[in-house]
Amino acid sequence: MRRTTSLFAAGGLLLLTACGGGSSAGRDDRAGADGYPVTVTSCGKKATVTAPPRRAVSLDQGSTEILLSLGLADRMAGTGTWTDPVRPNLAKDNAKVERLADRYPSLEKVLSKEPDFVSASFLYTVGKGGVADRAKFTELGVPVYVSPTDCAGKDNSGDGDGTRTRTLTMDTVYTEIRDLARVFHVERRGERLIADLTSRTAKAARTVKASKASVLYWFSDSKAPYIAGCCGAPGVITRTLGVRNAFADTRAEWPQVNWETVADRDPDVLVIGDLTRKAQSAESARQKIEFLESHPVTKNLTAVKKKRYVLLSGQALNPTIRTVDGIEQVAAGLRKFGLAR
């Protein structure tokens, strides 16, 4: 979920695109720019690099964690827009990369790092209200890549977080991994990462046999909660484990509903986003649980009475490599609650 608010001014700096290959430590193959230029299609627009990027800036945590998982910390000049602590196995490499801002960095701040490649998880990040429009980066000679998870089979024309016209699968995340691995010429690392994620997903699925439990995914906001629809990242978790999403009847990514509607559906399990950002009310899991157990409507939910809570990072509820973490954690919760066969 990318719902945030910010305001930044656009800058008019001129940027020079870096030339030459990456360091040998960051390559699968011999140094140099063999096989370049490389062009990848990015949410309807092409991004072309003439050599492996050496000063990449990733503008969303999901994109950042893919680059770090590909072993590219030495090719990254900065990161921005975080909802959670970095995944523990990536903490050491992440500490080597400057965090430009916890939320959206200004365009000037990004350009001060002289980036030769920019990546983002959401169109909003490189659109109106985000860091800067993609056209601005293109004008300055900086190729921009946006995750296909935010545009393939998704309508973003409304004011919310979009609507899935086609059900998301992990294959779209794997496309993002392959695209970024190709841009940086570390294709073998990309395939190893995908193989690991695929193996972990299959293993988690084997531990939960056709559970009939209903699950509700709550990302943020206690007044009018953002609840997961059928077909985004939570849908990947739901289908993998064979459970039912209490709001599977909507294709909106994160529709806002009222608590009376939630009470009518009375889910067996509440999957709760445990966020560290401070953009909405009730961001942390602690705040959410305190609300659930005190509100006159929600305190009578079956999941609340039985304390069937599964806590996930915000990134696990977004279409990223952490969606697999979400699959594993929800599977563990279903087993713990005795709802998995």
| 8-24 pLDDT tens trace | 333 333 333 333 333 33
286-303 burial, b if ≥16 CB within 10 A, otherwise e? ebbbebbeeeeebeebeb
Give the list of residues 6+ apart from residue 252 with CB closer than 8 angstroms, or none. 160, 161, 162, 163, 164, 229
**pTM for this entry:** 0.89
Q: Which residue has the tokens 């959206």?
A: 104
The residue among 200, 148, 201 whose CA lies nearest residue 179 is 148
Same domain (yes/no): 240, 106: no
Judgement on whether residues 34 and 173 belong to the same structural domain of the protein: yes
Q: Structure tokens of 36?
A: 């370049």
Query: Is residue 5 one of the residues assigned to a domain?
Result: no
Q: Are residues 181 and 212 in the same domain?
A: no
pLDDT of residue 2: 52
Does 81 share its domain with 170?
Answer: yes
Q: Domain span at residue 271?
A: 208-336
Find out whether 324 and 197 touch, Cβ atoms under 8 Å.
yes
Report the domain count for the chain: 2
Q: Is 30 helix (H, G, I), strand (E, B) or coil?
A: coil
Residues sharing a CB contact under 8 Å with residue 24, sequence separation 6 or more, in sequence order:
31
Q: Which residues of the chain have pLDDT under 50?
A: 3-32
pLDDT of residue 35: 87
> Of 199, 233, 262, which one is at a domain's C-terminal end?
199
pLDDT at 31: 40
Is 6 within the bounds of a domain?
Answer: no
Assess whether 148 and 115 both reside in one domain: yes
Question: How confident is the model over 50-92, as pLDDT tens digits?
Answer: 999 999 999 999 999 999 999 999 999 999 999 899 999 999 9
Residue 239: which residues within 8 A CB-CB, separation 6 or more? none
